[in-house]
Amino acid sequence: MSITDNVKSDLTTAMKAGEKERVGTLRLLLSELQKAAKEGSSDELAVLRRERKRRGEAERAFRDGGRTDLADGEAREAELIDAYLPPELDDAQLHEIVARAVAQSGASSPAELGKVMPLAMAEVAGRADGRRVSEQVREALGTA
């Protein structure tokens, strides 16, 4: 069962239960998934990660602007989206992946960050934020 099918099913359930906030988020998510499919993209996880990132950015902006009520809503939406994503890698797992990528690329200096990042990101496969991966790679190459 695809993520789109899961979202559709959960949307129906939320509508029957009268969960307005959940329905709104699921409709938006379903719309984005369908739009991506129409455009030829079959990477549903990329759509979910993009939408989760948007919610995180909006939450930070609202918190910076003193609008905690709106920030809390964005956080709840991000949490709902997270339920459809694979679990995040813990620091130890990410460290192992970065170490393998550094060894595989042969990188030894901070200037070679560009060699390591594509290898690490390919293995991470969306299970960690790019910023987290970049920080680990910089640390491994000695530029922390």
- Going by pLDDT thresholds of 50, 70 and 90, the confidence category of residue 10 is very high
Q: Which of residues 50, 82, 114 is at a domain's end?
A: 82
The identity of residue 67, as a single letter, is: R
Q: Are residues 32 and 73 located together in one domain of the fold?
A: yes
CATH number reported for the structural domain that contains residue 103 in this entry: 1.10.10
Q: Are residues 9 and 60 located together in one domain of the fold?
A: yes
Q: Are residues 15 and 72 located together in one domain of the fold?
A: yes
The set of long-range contacts for 75-82, using a CB threshold of 8 Å and a minimum separation of 24, is 76/21, 76/25, 77/25, 78/52, 80/22, 80/25, 80/26, 80/29, 81/25, 81/29, 81/48, 81/51, 81/52, 81/55, 82/52
Our count of domains for the chain comes to: 2
User: What mean pLDDT is reported for the chain?
Assistant: 90
Q: Are residues 98 and 118 located together in one domain of the fold?
A: yes
Q: Is 105's pLDDT higher than 90?
A: no
> What average pLDDT does range 94-109 have in this prediction?
87
Q: Are residues 11 and 36 located together in one domain of the fold?
A: yes
Supply the pLDDT for residue 143.
60
- The pLDDT tens digits of the residues spanning 50-98 come to 999 899 999 999 999 999 999 999 999 999 999 998 888 888 899 999 9
Residue 105 domain boundaries: 91-140
Q: Are residues 8 and 78 located together in one domain of the fold?
A: yes
> pTM of the prediction?
0.73
Q: Are residues 73 and 8 located together in one domain of the fold?
A: yes
